[in-house]
Every structure is written in C-alpha cells, then in structure tokens.
Amino acid sequence: MVDETGLDEHLADLAAEGRRSAVPMAAEQIRVLGDRRRRRKRAAQVSGGVLLAAAVAVGGVSLVLPGPGPAPSATEPTPSRSAPAFVPPTPAPGEEYAGEIGYVYNATVLADGVRVTVQQLRTERGSAVPTGVVHEVTLSPQTPVEVEQAAGGKPGDTRLEELVDRLRGGPRWVFVLDYDGEGRVQSLREAFWLTAE
C-alpha cells in the first residue's frame, strides 16, 4: 500500500513536470517581456522627475519656466538658433540606459536604416512640454519598439520598420528613446502615460 502511494506521487510529479516543459518557449518570453514592460512603465511613472533632472543637468534648462507654451503644430517644427544643441543622455551610474522623451516623426527609410526626427520634450506634472531641441537620428529597422496607442490600444512589442508608415507624418506619437553608454538608441517605448501639450 505504501509503495502504491509513492508511485502515485511519483507519477503526479512526472505529469506536472511534463506540463511545465510543454509550455512553449515563446510564451515564456512573451511573459518576460510583458513583465519587463510593466516594470519600466511603473518606474517611468514613479521617476518622471528624474528625466527633468537629467534635462537640467545635461541641457542647462532653467527651473523657472513660463506658463505652458502653445501646442505644437502639425507641421514640422524648425529648431531656433537659440535652442540648446542636442546632447545624447548618458545612463546614471548602475543604469543600463538613459531616456529621452520626444515626439518621433518624419520617418524616412534609407539604405542603412530609418531616419526619424525627434522633438525633445520634458515632463511637467504628468504633461509633456517641448524643450525646443529638435534633432534627427538614424536607427536600425530592427530597433525594438514597445507600443500601445500607436498599435490601436493593444500593448505589444514590434520593430521600427513596422511603424514607419505611422511615423511618416508630423509630430503625433510620444516615445522614450533608450540610449546606451555610447549614445546609441537601443529601443523606443511609447510614452502613452504622458499628456502632450
């Protein structure tokens, strides 16, 4: 009787192990990516002020700002001569990436990648406000992008090459661009939690 009970437990353990190994690897990766996306979203919501502090440190932005300016037009903005030059953000000690928030638009397919225009924004009480810095960056078509509103409200991961048509027009979609320690963009994350002014 004791042997049968041990056998039943052993068979139950084997069945459980079989069910665990039957889960496809893709499903596990999707869960890991989803968990990573949720952690980044929470971290971005909690540390929205960190990006403002980085903009102050890097760009010398004044902490005394006038009231909100006019909403950006649908046409391509032209950088003013007095606007600070773009300096790629650098990761803080112990961090893998540093983020820049901005409208990403005017996507053009080139032979060696996709060129986009970035109109830099800063966060102010949950709203995105233009800083006056506009620059262009050429990215790999395979650059990973986390989207939600740009994908019809369904969160997911995609590649930049799949969003070129949506990013061809004027400023509409706000993204966080993740820069590595060498100033290269490694990924984009849609900043759907911000209200663009």
Domains of the chain, residue spans: 2-39, 47-62+84-196
pLDDT at residue number 197: 57
pLDDT at residue number 67: 47
Residue pair 137/102 in contact by the 8 Å Cβ criterion: no
What token pair was written down for 54?
Answer: 């980085």
Write the DSSP string, 100-113: EEEEEEEEEEETTE
pLDDT at residue number 137: 95
What is the arithmetic mean of pLDDT over 162-190?
92
Rounded distance, CA 141 to CA 159, Å? 7
pLDDT digits (tens, 9 = 90+) for 87-133: 888 888 988 999 999 999 999 999 989 999 999 999 888 788 999 99
The pTM of this model reads 0.57
Least confidently predicted of 45-49, 62-66, 170-174: 62-66
pLDDT at 21 over 90: no
pLDDT digits (tens, 9 = 90+) for 49-84: 555 444 444 454 444 444 444 444 444 445 445 556
pLDDT at 141 over 90: yes
Residue pair 125/110 in contact by the 8 Å Cβ criterion: no
Asked whether the CA dihedral 45, 49, 53, 59 is positive or negative, the reply is positive
> Residue 97 is inside which H or E element, if any?
none
- The band of 140, judged by pLDDT with boundaries at 50, 70 and 90, is very high
CB atoms within 10 A of CB 14: 10
From the number of C-beta atoms within 10 Å of its C-beta (0-12, 13-18, 19+), residue 170 rates as middle
